[in-house]
């Protein structure tokens, strides 16, 4: 595994206990692994289709089924020590939301970075989060205007961001 990257979202959650969360857009499981190493995670839902996405490429979308297969295998391998605390949902995030039956302490969005998909993930998963929980994600940056627009439209100025991550507390 390459160098370890602890994202600002993860650092913001440090100190909280028995976290139940979800990550949308898993890729090879590297960020989820860092979350397990840095946080007190009781259970983590990992949501990804591990496939191409409606003939799109880039902006958080895999370019081929072969890459998707490698990402799936990487996820299973990288998170093998935590498999008893993971529910891997291989589906689109809009359908996966109904498979999560408990309230969440956090949701981390890093799937399709296009505006309509980020906005839909925020709208669908925000109600799943406990009061005081955190919703956030990755790629809040200049060349991912879909992410930036969706976050600003959803939260106005009531969010924080740093080094490509963004997050907001549910009140």
What is the tens place of the pLDDT at every residue in 32-76? 999 999 999 999 999 999 876 655 555 555 666 778 788 899 999
Q: State the Cα–Cα distance between residues 33 and 113, nearest whole angstrom.
A: 21
Choose the weakest-confidence range: 26-35, 57-66, 145-154: 57-66
Question: Is pLDDT of 1 > 80?
Answer: no
For the chain, what is the HEC assignment? CCCCCCCHHHHHHCCCCCEEEEEECCCCCHHHHHHHHHCCEEEEEEEECCCEECCECECCEECCHHHHHHHHHHHHHHCHHHHHHEEEEECCHHHHHHHCCCCEEEEEECCCCCHHHHHHHHHHHHHHEEEEEEEEECCCCCCCHHHHHHHHHHHCCCCEEECCEEEEECC
What local confidence, expressed as pLDDT, does residue 2 receive?
47
Model confidence pLDDT, tens digit, residues 87-107: 999 999 999 999 999 999 999
State the burial class of residue 1 (Cβ atoms within 10 Å of its Cβ: 0-12, 13-18, 19+): exposed
Between 71 and 169, the higher pLDDT residue: 169
Query: Which one is predicted more confidently, 114 or 53?
Result: 114
Q: How large a percentage of the chain has pLDDT more than 90? A: 77
Per-residue pLDDT, 61: 58
How many angstroms separate the CA atoms of 8 and 108, rounded?
Answer: 12
For the whole model, what pTM was predicted? Answer: 0.92
To which residue do tokens 């591990």 refer?
50
CATH number for the domain running over 8-169: 3.40.50.150
- Mean of the per-residue pLDDT values for the chain? 91
């Amino acid at each position: 595994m390459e160098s370890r990257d602890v994202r600002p979202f993860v650092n913001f959650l440090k100190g909280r206990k028995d976290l139940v969360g979800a990550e949308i857009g898993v890729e090879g499981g590297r960020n989820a692994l860092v979350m397990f190493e840095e946080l007190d995670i009781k259970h983590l839902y990992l949501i990804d289709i591990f496939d191409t996405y409606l003939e799109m490429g880039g902006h958080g979308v895999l370019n081929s089924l072969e890459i998707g297969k490698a990402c799936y295998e990487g996820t299973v391998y990288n998170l093998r020590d935590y498999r008893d605390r993971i529910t891997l949902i291989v589906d689109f995030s809009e359908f996966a939301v109904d498979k999560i039956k408990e309230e969440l302490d956090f949701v981390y969005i890093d799937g399709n970075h296009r505006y309509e998909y980020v906005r839909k993930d925020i709208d669908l998963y925000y109600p799943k989060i406990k009061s005081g929980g955190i919703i956030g994600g990755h790629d809040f940056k200049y060349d991912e205007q879909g992410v930036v627009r969706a976050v600003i439209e959803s939260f106005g100025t009531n969010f924080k961001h740093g080094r490509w991550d963004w997050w907001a507390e549910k009140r």
